[in-house]
Amino acid sequence: MMTNATTPDLNLPHAPAEKTLELALTQAQISYCKPDQLIGGFEGNPTFIVPKYKVAIFLNADLPAQISAVYSTWNLFGFDANQPEEALKSCLSYIQKHRKAHQKQPKHRFTFVDLFAGIGGFRIPLEKLGGKCLGFSEIDKKAIETYKNNFLDPQNPDELELGSVTNLSKLPFENIDLIVGGVPCQSWSVAGKMRGFDDPRGKLWEDTIRIVELNQPKTFIFENVKGLIDPRNKESLHLIVQSFEKIGYVVKYKLLNSYDFGLPQNRERIYIVGIRADYALKNTFRFPENKAKKSYLYEIIEGLEDQNYRTKKEKIEPRDLFGEKVPASRNRFQKTNELNDFFVFCDTRNGHTTIHSWDIIETTEREKEICLMILKNRRKQKYGKADGNPLSFKHLQALVANLQEEELSALIDKKILKFIEDKGYVFVNSKNSAGINGLYRIYLPNSNIFPTLTATGTKDVVALESVQGRTPDEFREKFINQIIKPQKYRPINAREAGKLQGFPDWFAFNENERFAQKQFGNAVSTSVVYGVAEVLTKQILT
């Protein structure tokens, strides 16, 4: 998108006005994007957005008054496409003016270095708190492209692109206040097989510790997956903390959830904060209290923002939801006396919001009875030690009265069951989290959580309408008829993923949907970083 030219060639009389403008911006080294790449979108359909300076460029002379009123913090520029040469000169001059104004910003409160920078999840809240970035380190080319488009100006190189952390040593900065970074997490996550320091990505902690030791910042904040605090990684976490302590830092860590900082995402991450000993002697750091107002999916899902799906839930007796025994696996988002805000597609478990393949495929009551009998008995130890054992025809005959092999064959034809030679019958969908037909969970608009975003995507989607029920059976029936059958659900898009991570409306994401989703899945939740950094900067860096 960028060239080395500094003076645009505006002698393009035969080119369309939009193309002329685009070439001029490129030659002037001005980062730009389309309005549909912004987290918050942009009314009025401007031709280009310059996110760094919050400039919107319109190919028309008169800007609607209502647009100017709504975007009072933006710099709106409209010009006559019939006179492109003069208009372009004026437009570029306008942006240059804002470039200079931006360079004369008030003095910063603190400085920071952004390691494993990604697309700027740490930078956004730190700049909001008055921080100045001295340099950033990132190796993913697409992430660097997004980062630069939002934060850097090629004609104002007041910070350094540092390259890979593996090559960094003493940085060319004096008195660094803060070093931050989301250290790559796959080596500690369950999805990454928890290889820890045996994984090359786990060794990036060694580089991080080395950089901190050589540069001695006053403080640091590092983020990592929940798996690092898992008992199986206890020794690794202790080694990381001990290593920082040995180089002169007082270290504290805590597992924080994005949900507790006002985002509708169940995302648990460990935050590790270090304070150089000479500062720690005078200050005591405490992680922030979780007092943020809770938000709901309907507030961020496009097309649902103006509808209030929040209703008071009816209380239901636990025995009416679970029978005589409440499952021990219930989490903080699943009440024992309320209906869930989501439905799970799974043939290997049961529950009041579980949808089985025989619920959405045309089956008889007899076929449903056979499937439920297999579900209830497949985990019993008398049939095997696995968490789900094949049941032979002989076993099933003892469980289902007058069972015929033809009935099982019919369920095989419907791809609900399969037969394993010399073992027996099992469900086709035999993995708990694999879902059914590419779906694992559907979240209702009134839910105030969505599952953790990841770089590899998710099988979780959102319903485009809400349903209510006075009983579990009524709730499930309405969901099947009103949501599943008419397919009133969809995956979240990149813009919504950005909102789930707390990225601001002005942020411009990658124009490729797949890359943008991956980048947001890898990012840190900006609201959590803001909460931690606000306390740290007030207590230590003020």
**Radius of gyration for the chain, computed over Cα atoms and rounded to the nearest angstrom:** 28
Is residue 48 within 8 Å of residue 22, measured between CB atoms?
A: yes
Identify the bridge partners of residue 57 per DSSP, sorted by sequence position: 48, 77
pLDDT at residue 185, as a whole number: 61
pLDDT at residue 396, as a whole number: 95
pLDDT at residue 189, as a whole number: 47
Residue with tokens 């990684």: 233
pLDDT at residue 256, as a whole number: 96
Catalytic residue among 33, 91, 185, 346: 185
The DSSP H or E segment spanning 542 is none
* pLDDT beyond 50 at 39: yes
The b/e string for 326-344 (b: 16+ C-beta within 10 A; e otherwise) is eeeeeeeebeeeebbbbbb
Instruction: Say whether 358 sits in a helix, a strand or coil.
Output: helix
Averaged pLDDT, 170-180: 95
Distance CA(82)–CA(59), nearest Å, equals 9
Among 64-73, 114-123, 374-383, which stretch is predicted with the lowest mean pLDDT? Answer: 64-73
Among 207-216, 263-272, 380-389, which stretch is predicted with the lowest mean pLDDT? Answer: 380-389
Work out whether the CA dihedral 495, 501, 506, 510 comes out positive or negative: negative
Instruction: Say whether 254 sits in a helix, a strand or coil.
Output: strand
Q: What is the pLDDT of residues 444-464, one digit of tens each?
A: 999 999 999 998 888 999 999
Is residue 434 within 8 Å of residue 422, measured between CB atoms?
A: no
The DSSP H or E segment spanning 190 is none
pLDDT at residue 358, as a whole number: 97
* pLDDT beyond 70 at 192: no
Is residue 314 within 8 Å of residue 469, measured between CB atoms?
A: no
The DSSP H or E segment spanning 443 is strand 441-443
pLDDT band at 3 (very low <50, low <70, confident <90, very high): very low
pLDDT at residue 60, as a whole number: 65
pLDDT at residue 328, as a whole number: 66
Residue-averaged pLDDT of the chain: 86
Work out whether the CA dihedral 83, 88, 94, 95 comes out positive or negative: positive
Distance CA(127)–CA(178), nearest Å, equals 12
- Superfamily of domain 110-294+499-541 in CATH is Vaccinia Virus protein VP39 (3.40.50.150)
Averaged pLDDT, 188-215: 70
pLDDT band at 252 (very low <50, low <70, confident <90, very high): very high
For 74, the token pair is: 């933006």
- Residue 109's φ and ψ, nearest 5 degrees, are -85, -35
The DSSP H or E segment spanning 184 is none
Instruction: Say whether 535 sits in a helix, a strand or coil.
Output: helix
Residue with tokens 């290997």: 348
Distance CA(391)–CA(425), nearest Å, equals 5
Q: What angle do CA 84, 88, 90 make, to 5 degrees?
A: 125
* pLDDT beyond 50 at 5: no
User: With pLDDT > 90 as the criterion, what percentage of the chain qualifies?
Assistant: 57
pLDDT band at 309 (very low <50, low <70, confident <90, very high): confident
Distance CA(525)–CA(144), nearest Å, equals 18
* pLDDT beyond 60 at 405: yes
Among 22-31, 120-129, 422-431, 470-479, which stretch is predicted with the lowest mean pLDDT? Answer: 22-31
Averaged pLDDT, 271-294: 86
Averaged pLDDT, 59-71: 67
pLDDT at residue 7, as a whole number: 43
pLDDT at residue 45, as a whole number: 81
Q: What is the pLDDT of residues 90-111, one digit of tens each?
A: 778 877 877 777 766 667 899 9
pLDDT at residue 95, as a whole number: 78
Question: Model pTM?
Answer: 0.90
Distance CA(254)–CA(534), nearest Å, equals 16
* pLDDT beyond 80 at 157: no
- What totals of helices (H) and strands (E) does the chain contain, helices first? 17, 17
pLDDT at residue 83, as a whole number: 66
Residue bearing the bigger pLDDT, 542 or 204: 204
Which of 66-70, 315-319, 321-325, 337-341 is the most confident on average? 337-341
* pLDDT beyond 80 at 275: yes
Q: Is residue 185 annotated as a catalytic residue, yes or no?
A: yes
pLDDT band at 186 (very low <50, low <70, confident <90, very high): low
Averaged pLDDT, 180-196: 61
Rounded to 10 deg, the angle between the 234-246 and 204-215 helix axes is 20
Helices (DSSP H) in 180-339: which residue ranges?
204-215, 234-246, 277-280, 318-322
For 258, the token pair is: 């994005």
Which of 4-8, 80-84, 382-386, 473-477 is the most confident on average? 473-477
Residue in 463, 499, 453 with CA at minimum distance from that of residue 340: 463
For 456, the token pair is: 């590899």
* pLDDT beyond 50 at 188: no
Residue bearing the bigger pLDDT, 57 or 521: 521
The b/e string for 23-51 (b: 16+ C-beta within 10 A; e otherwise) is bbbbbbbbbbbebebbbeebebebbbbbb
pLDDT at residue 440, as a whole number: 96
Q: How is domain 17-103 classified at the architecture level of CATH? A: 3-Layer(aba) Sandwich (3.40)
